[in-house]
Amino acid sequence: MTQISLGRLAAIATVGALLTGAAPAAAQSVLLTQRAAPPADVTTDADWRLVAPENLLVVDTVKGRILAELEPRVAPLSVERVRTLADRGFYDGLKFHRVIPNFMAQTGDPLGTGGGGSDLPDLAAELNFRRGRVADFAVVPNVNANTNAVFGSMPIQTQPDAQMFVTADARVAAQGLFCPGVLGMARSQALDSANSQFFFMMGANASLNGQYTPFGRIVSGLDVVKALNAGTSENDGRVETPDVMTRVRMASSMPEAERPVVRVMLPSAAAFAARVTYKRGTRGTNFNLCDVDVPAEVVAN
């Protein structure tokens, strides 16, 4: 069956380290200032980029609209599959048949059981990709030894840029991470069995990293996903009265007058860095990449 096994993929709890000793007064003052209020977004147009219409997935549901930016640089095969099926109308009327609160909402099965797919062949898993130098990339310093970053709107783990000097293609290895809002391709036990089903993450789950293909991220409508009718852990998230996707299209295939327009803040912008600093101050030693939100605005809807 094309589904994620909840038993195999239990959410990983984050355990915060205890701080000992008192910080100097100046350090305490800075920390309190960081926690007092989020930074004001003082930006210019140069701090933002528009999401390309061919990468903007528009999912209308009975609970509202979800907009997601697909990322072909991370998973080109999966993005092309979802584009193709969306513009065929394949997803129209399909159920969110499996919804686990604080984890994910799964859809894309024409049977509504978790066992269906399209008439197209299954896809090879896209668990890693090669990253070059791009403008919409920034490292997010963290407490571990890995290079965590934002790539477009995707959270990733990657080798550092310096490694590009010794690679034949001037690129480095990278992997998308399953943070809140990330879209992933569902599959069966076989690694290369993804087809039409996919899921929206509601929470972070590191056990999916390197096991499932991430291919995009929600830029508007995470609240809609969280409002979907859910199942329970006892029935592995299967929903008795599932909500449905009423219409799913790529923005590029919609009439221009109906096409939503979304802009996303560049991770290299000073306002983005200020948000990361603020979040780090509020989370302390528990801070990780999945705490970083990528600001997005719906310019036209």
Q: Does residue 46 surpass a pLDDT of 80?
A: yes
Residue 267 within a domain: yes
- Does residue 268 form part of some domain? yes
Please count the residues of the chain: 301
Task: Assess contact for 97 and 111: CB atoms under 8 A.
Answer: no
CATH code assigned at 206: 2.40.100.10
Task: Enter the tokens of residue 158.
Answer: 């990657």
In a domain, 30, yes or no: no
**Of 163, 212, 165, nearest in space to 192 by CA:** 212
Average pLDDT for residues 179-184, to the nearest whole number? Answer: 98
Query: From residue 104, how far is each of 83, 91, 112, 243 by CA, in Å?
Result: 21, 18, 16, 14
Residue range 62-91: average pLDDT? 98
236, part of any domain: yes
Owning domain of residue 51: 47-300
| Total structural domains within the chain | 1
**Domain assignment of residue 26, yes or no:** no
Spatial CA neighbour of 253 closest among 86, 116, 19, 47? 86
With respect to residue 209, please indicate whether it lies within any of the assigned structural domains. Answer: yes
- 264 HSE (CA, 13 A, CB side): 27
pLDDT in tens, 207-259: 999 999 999 999 999 999 999 999 987 889 999 999 999 999 999 999 999 99
Any domain includes 66: yes
Domain assignment of residue 238, yes or no: yes
- The tens digit of pLDDT for each residue in 259-286 reads 999 999 999 999 999 999 999 999 998 9
Predicted TM-score (pTM) of the model is 0.87
- Contact of 201 with 103, CB cutoff 8 Å: yes
- The continuous run of DSSP H or E covering 272 comes out as helix 270-283
Whether 131 and 138 have beta carbons less than 8 Å apart is answered as no
